[in-house]
Structure 1
Amino acid sequence: MEKKAFRKQQISQLSKMTAEQRVAQNLSLQQQLFASAAWQRAQTVAVTISSPIEVDTRPFVQQAWQEGKTVLIPKTLPHRQMAFYPYTASSQLERTKFGILEPVDGEAVAKKAIDLIIVPGLGYSLDQHARIGFGGGYYDRYLADFKGTKLTVAYQQMAFATAQWPVDAFDILLDEVLVAKEGERD
């Protein structure tokens, strides 16, 4: 299936998840993430502020703050580039044309200072850890020379044995895919 059609299908599928499915799967993913070696090692964690169809990242942010970790969130830049900026309880955010909350001010953090990036997306292959995102290419560009851990958290509806979309040479593979163990798939 072509990427555009797959994205549309996934957004539709994820939009149909019940509140109960989301709660159960989010709890499973939180437990797995916080117990993972990547989380335990990381002092600086980069994460997006999730949209309603995505895995809820607010508990990740809260837990990181409780553990004294530095939390970073992305800001899109011209030419499909992005950078990560510190995120605290007092950070000012604005909604972009993509509907994403981004930091208004602050200094971008050097890529080499980031230990763990929790990478968002719509689908993940379990065999090769390929991902399909929302289509902007921002993460693939950013991750191309990233040396830290690239991990994702996936609802069961996001996980596939093999990619159901074309995986291109420029698509960056993840280091780890955590899949929710609770809740029903459909």
Structure 2
Amino acid sequence: MDKKTFRQQQIQRLSRMTAEERVAQNLSIQQQLFASAAWQRAQVVAITISSGIEVDTRPLVKRAWADGKTVVIPKTLPHRQMAFYPYTDASQLVRTKFGILEPTSGTPVEKKQIDLILVPGLGYARQEMARIGFGGGYYDRYLADYAGVKLTVAYTQMAFEHAEWPVAKYDVLLDQLIVAKDGSHEDN
């Protein structure tokens, strides 16, 4: 399946999730992420402000602040580049043409200062540790020479055993993948 078709199918699949599914899966993701060594070691965490179909990042930002971490969020730049800027509850944000909230001011943080990047996307492959994003290529360009931890948090609907989309040589692979545990199979 080509990437464009896969993206369209994933957006439809994620749009069909119920509010109850989202709440349960977000809680499962949060528990796993906050217990992870990557989260506990990180002092500077890069996070996007999530859209409606994505894993809710607002609780992750609040927890990072509560844990004394510095949160940085991306801002798109010309030529499909991006930089990360400090994000606090006083930050001014603007919605881009992509529908993403970005900082309006501040000084970008050097890539080498970021310990952990929570990489957004629509689908993730457990075996290859590949991801498919929204199609801009911004993250693959940024991550190409990034030395910190590349971690993704995903709903069960985003996780696949193998990539069901073509993985290109320039697609940057993940270091870690945290997938929500399906509540219907737990012994709680």
Same fold (TM over 0.5): yes
% same residue: 74
Alignment partners' CA distance in 2, 1:183 and 1:174: 25
Q: How does 1:53-72 map to 2 (within 5 A)?
A: 53-72=53-72
Q: Which residue in the other structure is 2:44 paired with?
A: 44
Question: Where does structure 2 lack aligned partners over 5 or more consecutive residues?
Answer: none
Q: How does 1:110-125 map to 2 (within 5 A)?
A: 110-125=110-125
Query: Offset at 1:184?
Result: 5.7
Alignment partners' CA distance in 2, 1:63 and 1:10: 28
Calculate the TM-score normalised by the size of structure 2: 0.97
Matched position secondary structure for 2:139: helix
Q: Which residue in the other structure is 1:81 paired with?
A: 81
In structure 2, give the amino acid aligned to 1:21: E
Residues 133-179 of structure 1, C-alpha deviations (whole Å, 9 max, x = no match):
00000000000000000000000000000000000000000000000
Q: How does 1:1-186 map to 2 (within 5 A)?
A: 1-183=1-183
Alignment partners' CA distance in 1, 2:173 and 2:121: 12
Calculate the TM-score normalised by the size of structure 1: 0.98
Matched position secondary structure for 2:153: strand
Runs of 4+ in 1 over 4 A off after TM superposition: none
Would the aligned equivalents of 1:86 and 1:106 in 2 still touch at CA under 8 Å?
yes
Q: CA RMSD in A?
A: 1.0
Alignment partners' CA distance in 2, 1:141 and 1:9: 25
Query: Offset at 1:128?
Result: 1.4
Alignment partners' CA distance in 1, 2:55 and 2:182: 13
Matched position secondary structure for 2:29: helix
Residues 37-83 of structure 1, C-alpha deviations (whole Å, 9 max, x = no match):
00000000000000000000001000000010000000000000000
Residues 65-119 of structure 1, C-alpha deviations (whole Å, 9 max, x = no match):
0010000000000000000000000000000000100000000000000000000
Alignment partners' CA distance in 1, 2:148 and 2:49: 20
Would the aligned equivalents of 1:21 and 1:184 in 2 still touch at CA under 8 Å?
no
Between the two proteins, the alignment pairs up a number of residues equal to 185
In structure 2, give the amino acid aligned to 1:64: A
Alignment partners' CA distance in 2, 1:182 and 1:85: 34
In structure 2, give the amino acid aligned to 1:103: P
